[in-house]
Structure 1
Amino acid sequence: MLLNSRVASLFGVLLLLISSLLWPPAAQQVHAAPAGVTPGTLSQVTSFGNNPSGLKMYIYVPRNLAANPALLVAVHYCSGSASAFYNGSYDYVAAAEQYGYIIVFPESTHSEYSNCFDVWSPQALTRGGGSDPVGIMSMVSWTQANYNIDSSRIYAMGVSSGAMMTNVLLAEYPDVFAAGAAFMGVPATCFATGSSTNFWNSQCSNGQISKTAQQWGDAARAMYPGYKGSYPRIQLWHGSTDSVLSYNNFAEEIKQWTNLHGVSTTPALTDSPKTNWTRTRYGSTTAQPPVEAISVQGAGHDMSLAGMPAYAIAFLGLNSSDGGSPAVPPAPTGLTATAGNASVSLSWAASPGAASYTVKRATTSGGPYTIVATGVTATSYTNTGLTNGTTYYYVVSASNSAGNSSNSAQASATPTGDGTSNGNLVVQYKAGDTNATDNQSRPHFNIKNNGTAPVNLSGLKLRYYFTKDGTADMNAWIDWAQIGSSNIQIAFGSHNGTNSDTYVELSFSSGAGSLAAGGQSGEIQLRMARSDWSNLNESNDYSYDPTKTAFADWNQVVLYQNGVPVWGTQP
């Protein structure tokens, strides 16, 4: 029996040796996922270590997990949640599948503080002091313990409250994070109140706190006393008309991070990668400088604009599976073509890692295509000077320093002279609720002005078409709007058309202001329900599209200007 046992043990060792030779650990898919974590879905982890403030942890592990994956910590906004941020972060999730990195989504449980993350208390602003940063770092440690994370490629990204936390994490744990991207944040320590229960610093939010670069740098260094190493790279974003976290905070962030990196506050490079964007780089002119700051003219407290995630992904260094040279970007997806008067407006989803796009056109389906525009840095393009009545077929490819992608799927449109689109005003739509049979409908909208002159919102009316599917009256509310819920009026009307017998119409008071040239309204969150709260059936609604979970141009929502249709096709 002893001999047999030894032989069996020896045989087992040989099997392990042979297995290691035949199946080297080149990809982590061969390892069993931790309990409760399903690759390709947002999964909750319920026990992850020290968590003094009771945060929740959610994780997205891609199906195509890299051998040594990077880790992105994605931190949501006030009133948000992990699932909402996940659903609104399609570009980051799609890139995770392409490049094999993991995303951790912390979730605030501070309902008494509007689910904001703690960036105000003394505990949160001291390394290891407690509160939310400690819980988030436990999530990072748990992920490192369960996956073969590349410790040199740990990043943070956040929006609003999450952007504030990104600043805090990078200043407090500079030895952990390699870089971060902060959308609409404030400098680390700016929101300090000296209290664990007073969560809002109005002086900071209103942009009334101004310090020298040295003072801001010293405030950040005091969060981790004695640290002598380098600080993470950071990309900062802010809208010039932000009324929630004042645009003044943008300049203060730049002061803080240029001081921490020991570089001049005078930009090494200034350019405009997209219309109304001003990008400044500090300390280097390369694609990954110590500090990069992007100001968006006319944008408010809304950083969901097309193209932003691709720039953040490239800056962080997530657009490769091993942190090396960027890979060729994937072909753009979601290409749509909308006919105008002698013009066609194109829109597509950003390709992770893309530096620019090439637009190609044909008059025969399937080509051959000719190039009509190169070096396009936006995710939209209007082709003008066309012949009304002729059908045009388009494809788009993406490019970066590694090469060119294949063509996108084809989209076509036939320009007409009927004035249904002036080529300037565009309606973007996303489904705030993708359950077509629950008792509420949540279409969200964004109106863009691609023209060269401002447009008064009070002259516009937006119509969303649907089937009422019953006799009960409809009720509607504006849950949130960047231009102010009180500036939007709601009315219902009857209609007889394809998949529609009713429309809801949004109109705007003078208090809504105007759309600047190149500007946008920002998100408008509409919610509808029957008066008896019975279930709806949105699956046959003309304007409903559950596949649009991020804002995209949608011509099945119609926009009128002074009574004339200027965008979309009425059913």
Structure 2
Amino acid sequence: MLLKSRVASLFGVLLLLISSLLWPPAAQQVHAAPAGVTPGALSQVTSFGNNPSGLKMYIYVPRNLAANPALLVAVHYCSGSASAFYNGYARDYVTAAEQYGYIIVFPESTHSQYSNCFDVWSPQALTRGGGSDPVGIMSMVSWTEANYNIDSSRIYVMGASSGAMMTNVLLAEYPDVFAAGTSFMGVPATCFATGSATNFWSSQCANGQISKTAQQWGDAARAMYPGYTGSYPRIQLWHGTVDSTLSYNNFAEAIKQWTNLHGISATPVFTDSPQASWTRTRYGGSSAQPALEAISVQGAGHTIPAAGMVAYSIAFLGLNSSGGGSPTVPPAPTGLTATAGNASVSLSWAASPGASSYTVKRATMSGGPYTDVATEITATSYTNTGLTNGTTYYYVVSASNSAGNSPNSAQASATPASSGTSTGNLVVQYKAGDTNATDNQSRPHFNIKNNGTAPVNLSGLKLRYYFTKDGTADMSAWIDWAQIGSSNIQIAFGSHNGTNSDTYVELSLSAGAGSIAAGGQSGEIQLRMAKSDWSNLNESNDYSYDPTKTAFADWNRVVLYQNGVPVWGVQP
């Protein structure tokens, strides 16, 4: 018996030793993916729970899965599919999932009779637990939570068009499940209600003809989950100003609904332009993650998200961390521009997602070394004053948050100069005679105006146009036509080192050109330039070139000298 006992003990120890070799400790165990789910690929899940409307479920689990991953539900547009959304609008979310380790669920509509739109119109869909698509989508969320160690405080939803409408519905109907959402080109929750399970399109809502008070919109959303007294998820709304599929009017109506649901003022507390055509407003707070953020995109139709927008959604939702809510270092700012003024340079740049402040750095040599000139800037613009006219300054900008500092932006430079207005009341107008920036000829046209009360002799005036030669070939130039006579204009080229310029062409006017009467003008001067070998130019990076000016307009990037003194324009 003793021998048996010892053998058994030995065997048990051996088993424990083998077990420790074969299996890592519980804290290090890697759970196998559910059957049919391949990390790093869009995978279909065929059985996921209650699914009254027969939706399909697809899932993307990153290869680099976080220990407690966030979950994003990505809802496609009408006529779309999970795979089309995965490869299209949602692709940047997929790329970011590999970086931050979150999971994405892609519901797919099977309503071919309704153009594969998601049900946001029926009474069943607009009642919590009432059936139809929202119930199926919530089953997908529950399945994912049951199979992965999802951080339940970091469940989000985003969608475009029909998916954006569903985003609003899910956030209003399941506010206790979702932390936040992004809606691209949507409508307020319940706006599409038709009272029927089969009438799927509300032309009134789509055309922006439904307008309610903020309280009415809020009450309509609250009726979807009667008795709920908790807080509502944060939401980010995007809409193009010329959307002809889901009218831009719905943008304002959705703002009414969500400010009411959050119990905050409909007056924004913060407004800026992260990019030139965007107007961003924040409600209930000015931080990067307010209760409501609304971004209007000037000139955009039913075509968003477009390039660069998803990064702002990821930062707003809070997907740019691997868990625990810790932010990551923001990316370097983009789009830095520098505009010269009188003893000053004005800078602007695109907002860096996740940034809380910016640092402006300056050098007097291209490439640095740079010195900080302004820190803790919360805007996306800054004017550096007290500079020396005629000196070229080089700038970079970095972004910061609690996680650290970004790399520097690309460099921009400018050379301050005295005021570009003329003390002698002379103004240069310009238009592009040829708007093809990459052909073998450049055709800038000029006109000189006299806004004064006395005539001005054209003799002694010199006009300079700045550009890049794009090569070593010599330049040739001709006056195709001039009202003052082409023989009264002499052409010369000079070298120059400045912003987007290494060369200038100078037009000198002789006594034969006469004078400009008070309130008069020189008339059109048509210049044409080409390389001696007739190779192509690249005018797109030329300081004085502007293809948008197809009619004469005042242009201070052409400099006018009177008796050797600059009287109009800003030299690069």
Tell me the TM-score range normalised by the shorter chain: 0.5 to 0.7
CA distance in 1, matches of 2:477, 2:124: 42
Q: Percent identity over the alignment?
A: 91
CA distance in 2, matches of 1:55, 1:116: 11
Of stretches 523-532 and 325-334 in structure 1, the one that deviates more from structure 2 is 523-532
Cα deviations by residue, 1:329-376 (Å, 9 ceiling, x for unpaired): 367999999999999999999986456889999999999899999999
Of stretches 94-103 and 483-492 in structure 1, the one that deviates more from structure 2 is 483-492
Of stretches 520-529 and 188-197 in structure 1, the one that deviates more from structure 2 is 520-529
CA distance in 2, matches of 1:483, 1:27: 86
Report the alpha carbon displacement of residue 115 of structure 1 after superposing the two structures with TM. 1.2
Report the alpha carbon displacement of residue 293 of structure 1 after superposing the two structures with TM. 1.1
Query: Match of 1:274?
Result: 275
Report the alpha carbon displacement of residue 485 of structure 1 after superposing the two structures with TM. 47
Q: Does 1:27 align with 2:31?
A: no
Report the alpha carbon displacement of residue 217 of structure 1 after superposing the two structures with TM. 0.9
Report the alpha carbon displacement of residue 75 of structure 1 after superposing the two structures with TM. 0.6
Query: Match of 1:286?
Result: 287
Asked whether the equivalents of residues 71 and 154 of structure 2 are also in contact (C-alpha less than 8 Å), the reply is: yes
User: After the TM superposition, which parts of structure 1 deviate over 3 Å for at least 4 consecutive aligned residues?
Assistant: 1-29, 329-401, 405-571
SS of structure 1 residue aligned to 2:39: coil
Residues 521-532 of structure 1: pairs in structure 2 closer than 5 A: none
Report the alpha carbon displacement of residue 480 of structure 1 after superposing the two structures with TM. 45
SS of structure 2 residue aligned to 1:288: coil
SS of structure 2 residue aligned to 1:458: coil
Asked whether the equivalents of residues 426 and 553 of structure 1 are also in contact (C-alpha less than 8 Å), the reply is: yes
Report the alpha carbon displacement of residue 271 of structure 1 after superposing the two structures with TM. 2.3
Distance 1:366 1:463, change over 3 A: closer
SS of structure 2 residue aligned to 1:9: helix
Report the alpha carbon displacement of residue 228 of structure 1 after superposing the two structures with TM. 1.6
SS of structure 2 residue aligned to 1:97: helix
Report the alpha carbon displacement of residue 196 of structure 1 after superposing the two structures with TM. 1.2
Of stretches 105-114 and 534-543 in structure 1, the one that deviates more from structure 2 is 534-543
Cα deviations by residue, 1:138-182 (Å, 9 ceiling, x for unpaired): 110000000000111101011111110000001111111111111
Report the alpha carbon displacement of residue 454 of structure 1 after superposing the two structures with TM. 35
- Decide which structure has the larger Cα Rg and report it: 2
CA distance in 1, matches of 2:293, 2:324: 19
Distance 1:353 1:443, change over 3 A: farther
Report the alpha carbon displacement of residue 400 of structure 1 after superposing the two structures with TM. 3.9
Report the alpha carbon displacement of residue 526 of structure 1 after superposing the two structures with TM. 38
SS of structure 1 residue aligned to 2:459: helix
SS of structure 1 residue aligned to 2:303: coil
Report the alpha carbon displacement of residue 207 of structure 1 after superposing the two structures with TM. 0.6
Of stretches 302-311 and 473-482 in structure 1, the one that deviates more from structure 2 is 473-482
Asked whether the equivalents of residues 179 and 233 of structure 1 are also in contact (C-alpha less than 8 Å), the reply is: yes
Report the alpha carbon displacement of residue 560 of structure 1 after superposing the two structures with TM. 33
Asked whether the equivalents of residues 243 and 301 of structure 1 are also in contact (C-alpha less than 8 Å), the reply is: yes
Report the alpha carbon displacement of residue 404 of structure 1 after superposing the two structures with TM. 2.4
Asked whether the equivalents of residues 64 and 98 of structure 2 are also in contact (C-alpha less than 8 Å), the reply is: yes
Distance 1:497 1:349, change over 3 A: closer
- Taking structure 2 as the reference length, what is the TM-score of the superposition? 0.61
Query: Match of 1:454?
Result: 455
- Taking structure 1 as the reference length, what is the TM-score of the superposition? 0.61
Distance 1:197 1:147, change over 3 A: same
Report the alpha carbon displacement of residue 483 of structure 1 after superposing the two structures with TM. 44
Of stretches 534-543 and 38-47 in structure 1, the one that deviates more from structure 2 is 534-543
SS of structure 1 residue aligned to 2:26: coil
SS of structure 2 residue aligned to 1:566: strand
Report the alpha carbon displacement of residue 551 of structure 1 after superposing the two structures with TM. 34
Asked whether the equivalents of residues 299 and 522 of structure 1 are also in contact (C-alpha less than 8 Å), the reply is: no
Distance 1:333 1:49, change over 3 A: farther
Asked whether the equivalents of residues 274 and 378 of structure 1 are also in contact (C-alpha less than 8 Å), the reply is: no
Distance 1:169 1:321, change over 3 A: same
Number of residue pairs matched? 569
CA distance in 2, matches of 1:429, 1:61: 56
Report the alpha carbon displacement of residue 287 of structure 1 after superposing the two structures with TM. 1.8
Report the alpha carbon displacement of residue 94 of structure 1 after superposing the two structures with TM. 2.1
Report the alpha carbon displacement of residue 10 of structure 1 after superposing the two structures with TM. 10
Asked whether the equivalents of residues 464 and 504 of structure 2 are also in contact (C-alpha less than 8 Å), the reply is: yes
SS of structure 2 residue aligned to 1:396: strand
SS of structure 1 residue aligned to 2:29: helix
Unaligned stretches of 5+ residues in structure 2: none
SS of structure 2 residue aligned to 1:249: helix
SS of structure 2 residue aligned to 1:30: coil
Query: Match of 2:307?
Result: 306
Asked whether the equivalents of residues 306 and 350 of structure 1 are also in contact (C-alpha less than 8 Å), the reply is: no
Asked whether the equivalents of residues 297 and 519 of structure 1 are also in contact (C-alpha less than 8 Å), the reply is: no
Report the alpha carbon displacement of residue 563 of structure 1 after superposing the two structures with TM. 37
Report the alpha carbon displacement of residue 324 of structure 1 after superposing the two structures with TM. 2.0
Unaligned stretches of 5+ residues in structure 1: none
Distance 1:188 1:342, change over 3 A: same
Q: Does 1:520 align with 2:521?
A: yes
Cα deviations by residue, 1:23-70 (Å, 9 ceiling, x for unpaired): 988988821111111111111111111111111111111111111111
CA distance in 2, matches of 1:416, 1:545: 20
Cα deviations by residue, 1:234-259 (Å, 9 ceiling, x for unpaired): 11111111111111111111111111
CA distance in 2, matches of 1:552, 1:290: 44
CA distance in 2, matches of 1:302, 1:459: 54
Distance 1:200 1:404, change over 3 A: same
CA distance in 2, matches of 1:505, 1:209: 61
CA distance in 1, matches of 2:289, 2:309: 15
Distance 1:438 1:385, change over 3 A: closer
Q: Does 1:15 align with 2:15?
A: yes
Of stretches 347-356 and 521-530 in structure 1, the one that deviates more from structure 2 is 521-530
Distance 1:243 1:393, change over 3 A: same
Of stretches 531-540 and 181-190 in structure 1, the one that deviates more from structure 2 is 531-540
Asked whether the equivalents of residues 332 and 348 of structure 1 are also in contact (C-alpha less than 8 Å), the reply is: yes
Cα deviations by residue, 1:385-418 (Å, 9 ceiling, x for unpaired): 9999999999997654422235799999999999
SS of structure 2 residue aligned to 1:479: strand
Asked whether the equivalents of residues 29 and 64 of structure 1 are also in contact (C-alpha less than 8 Å), the reply is: no
Cα deviations by residue, 1:489-508 (Å, 9 ceiling, x for unpaired): 99999999999999999999
Asked whether the equivalents of residues 184 and 305 of structure 2 are also in contact (C-alpha less than 8 Å), the reply is: no
Distance 1:318 1:219, change over 3 A: same
CA distance in 1, matches of 2:180, 2:313: 10
Distance 1:125 1:95, change over 3 A: same
Distance 1:430 1:29, change over 3 A: farther
Cα deviations by residue, 1:208-265 (Å, 9 ceiling, x for unpaired): 1111111111111111112121111111111111111111111111111111111121
SS of structure 1 residue aligned to 2:49: coil
Distance 1:334 1:259, change over 3 A: closer
Of stretches 259-268 and 336-345 in structure 1, the one that deviates more from structure 2 is 336-345
Query: Match of 1:68?
Result: 68
Query: Match of 2:419?
Result: 418
Distance 1:149 1:46, change over 3 A: same
Asked whether the equivalents of residues 191 and 204 of structure 1 are also in contact (C-alpha less than 8 Å), the reply is: yes
Asked whether the equivalents of residues 333 and 399 of structure 2 are also in contact (C-alpha less than 8 Å), the reply is: yes
Query: Match of 1:186?
Result: 187
